[in-house]
A = this chain, B = another copy of it.
Amino acid sequence: MTDPADSTPAPPPPSPWERERPARTRAAVARTPLSRERIVEAAFTVLDRQGLDGLSMRQVAAELGVTVSALYAHVSSKDDLLELMYTRLFDGFELPRPDPDRWQEQVRDYARAGRRRLLSHRDMARISMAHVPFTAELLPYVESLLAIFRTAGLPDRIAAEAGDLISTYIDGFVLEEGMWRDRAAEQSGEDTSLARPDWREMAEEMQDYFASLPAQDFPHLRALAGMMVTDSSDERFDIGLEIILRGLASYLPDATKRAPSDDGRAPDTT
């Protein structure tokens, strides 16, 4: 993000009297040498505009004002590029120092921050689901999450699984959010780019559909329709998260669920 080597002098804006130079100005700006960073940046621009299905090497090249083949000097393949985008997702992610007394809050913060980052670019959850955070750069994040679980006192087998479970939950939830958003967008207007709130319309339509089902065949679906399709997905996210946290908490050695402050219960290291 804040790259000190990035201090290329930007050309001054055109003075008021020089009128409409060919569109070369933009092209010249784009001529700053290619780099992995710039390619990733352009890829995000294309992603947000066209979605993952519209993200092609050719579109990225066009965004940079460059030939497709030029990209392959900096990036070995499209998969490589997608991995760079995935890794970028973790940039500046806060790593808390594990506090046994606040482990649930720390996991909540971790999950909410993860969801927020996934929501920051279109179809990002789809990219995230296709990757695993076991590259050298990302291991500190995995370690940090495991640290929270283990210093909280969770048994090793549970802690080992909890990281996967939480990550899968975040990715899966946001993926589904995106699907609904896409469906709403393609239904209402053709303006695919903006995340317009006219998806509430679809939510109502969906609820009407559930309500129209035969009562004797679908009693539970009818009863829960209002809560399964809701506009505030923040609340839904927190509920699912809470279910997982309660499940994890049930494995804590001391039966008293949430001691306000339990002193000196060291995790069995080694």
Contacts and interface: CB of A to CB of B under 8 A. Distances in A.
Contacts of A162: 243
B244 A243 contact: yes
Given A156-B224, A240-B165, A179 B146 contact: no
Copies in the complex: 2
A163 B244 CA distance: 13
A34 interface: no
A213 B143 CA distance: 11
Interface string A28-69: 000000000000000000000000000000000000000000
Contacts of A206: 134
Contact of A139 (B139, B218, B242): B218
A12 to B, nearest CB: 46
Contacts of A168: 168-169, 172-173, 176
A195 interface: no
A160 interface: yes
Contact of A172 (B129, B139, B244): B129
A129 B239 contact: no
A111 interface: no
A165 B160 contact: no
B161 A221 contact: no
B223 A270 contact: yes
A239 B173 contact: no
Interface in A197-243: 206, 213, 217-221, 223-224, 227-228, 236, 239-240, 242-243
A77 interface: no
B147 A220 contact: yes
B224 A146 contact: yes
A82 interface: no
Given A164-B176, A169-B165, A218-B143, A158 B243 contact: yes
A132 interface: yes
10 smallest beta-carbon distances between A and B, as pairs: A247-B247, A168-B172, A243-B247, A160-B227, A146-B220, A246-B247, A246-B250, A160-B224, A161-B239, A160-B228
Interface of A: 129-130, 132, 134, 139-140, 142-143, 146-147, 150, 156-165, 168-169, 171-173, 175-176, 179, 206, 213, 217-221, 223-224, 227-228, 236, 239-240, 242-248, 250-251, 269-270
Given A142-B221, A150-B220, 16 more contacts: A139-B218, A143-B221, A146-B221, A146-B224, A150-B224, A156-B224, A157-B239, A158-B243, A160-B228, A165-B169, A168-B168, A168-B172, A172-B172, A244-B247, A246-B251, A250-B250
